[in-house]
Amino acid sequence: MSRKPAFESLEKGAEIGRREVAVTRADLVKYAGASGDFNPIHWNNDFATAVELPGVIAHGMFTMGSAVQLVTDWAGDPGAVVDYQTRFTKPVPVADTTGTDEPGAILEVVGTVGALDADARTARIDLTVTNDGQRVLTKAQAVVRLG
Res 1: pLDDT: 45
Domain ranges of the chain: 9-24+59-145
Res 2: pLDDT: 55
pLDDT < 50 positions in the chain: 1
CATH architecture designation of domain 9-24+59-145? Roll (3.10)
pTM: 0.93
Beta bridge partners of 15: 112
Res 147: pLDDT: 79
112 with 125: CB under 8 angstroms?
A: yes
* Backbone dihedral angles phi then psi of residue 56, each to the nearest 5 degrees: -60, 135
